[in-house]
Amino acid sequence: MIIVLTSERALPNEAEQINQLFKEGLEILHLRKPTFTIDGYRSLLEQIETKYHHRIMTHQFPELTQEYDLRGIHLQEQARIDLEDALEITIQVYKNKGFSVTSSFHSKEDIRDCKAAFEYVLLSPVFGSISKAGYEGKGFDVTDMDHTIIGMGGINESTLQKTYDLGFKGVGILGGVWNSEDPIKSFIQIKDVHDAVVRIMN
């Protein structure tokens, strides 16, 4: 599984590039714009082809899931912690409406301690981050865990094989796409290597 997270900042021709990523085989996009208002989110979603909306997870403004028939909501670490005892009920409410719920973690222990049933979780940083300077990777080995865990942090074509060897069920990419001169070309290169790795494993 390949997931791409949007850049935190607004990019030129961003919706056009997102549409192209989907055309090139992107499975899931995580829409994450911490500084955007709900109208900023709407503006970007309006420019993304409707047929791709069901592949988009939103990190903010959960009401957009119904407004645009999105794939679901992603709870970042603090949002998940803040829900406390209401976490499992919140997840069930969204699942009952047909939406997916995922979350972010930064340690294996926290994943083990969390009793909530997410579709998948993001664990980072696996390797040194491409998008955040000085964000060192922890080389998590999750081969001993049954959860569906997506590896993030420093993911590109050269680290894909190792990510899967460490037991991850998929990869989340941010800097490997958006920090390159040609995001679409970079994604295609990563996807080609990814598909080859998965074929060999299966």
- Cβ contacts of residue 57 below 8 Å, gap of 6+? 28, 29, 30, 31, 70, 71, 72, 73, 74, 100, 102
Given this model, what pLDDT does residue 75 score?
95
49, 66, 159 from 197: Cα distances, Å: 30, 36, 11
Res 201 pLDDT > 90: no
Q: Which helix (H) or strand (E) holds 113?
A: helix 108-113
Question: Residue 202: what pLDDT?
Answer: 76
% of the chain surpassing 90 pLDDT: 83
Q: What is the pLDDT of residues 105-146, one digit of tens each?
A: 999 999 999 989 999 999 999 998 666 666 678 899 999 999
Residue 20's domain is classified under what CATH number?
3.20.20.70
Contact by Cβ (8 Å): 46, 18? no
What pLDDT is attached to residue 25?
Answer: 96
Give tens-digit pLDDT for 136-185: 788 999 999 999 999 999 998 889 999 999 999 999 999 999 999 999 99
pLDDT band at 20, cuts 50/70/90? very high
Give the angle 185-186-191 at the CA atoms, nearest 5°: 100
**Does residue 200 register a pLDDT over 90?**
no
Phi-psi region of 75 (alpha: psi -120 to 50; beta: other; left: phi over 0): beta
- Higher pLDDT, residue 54 or 133: 54
43-62 average pLDDT score: 97
Domain total in the chain? 1
Domain residues for 41? 2-201
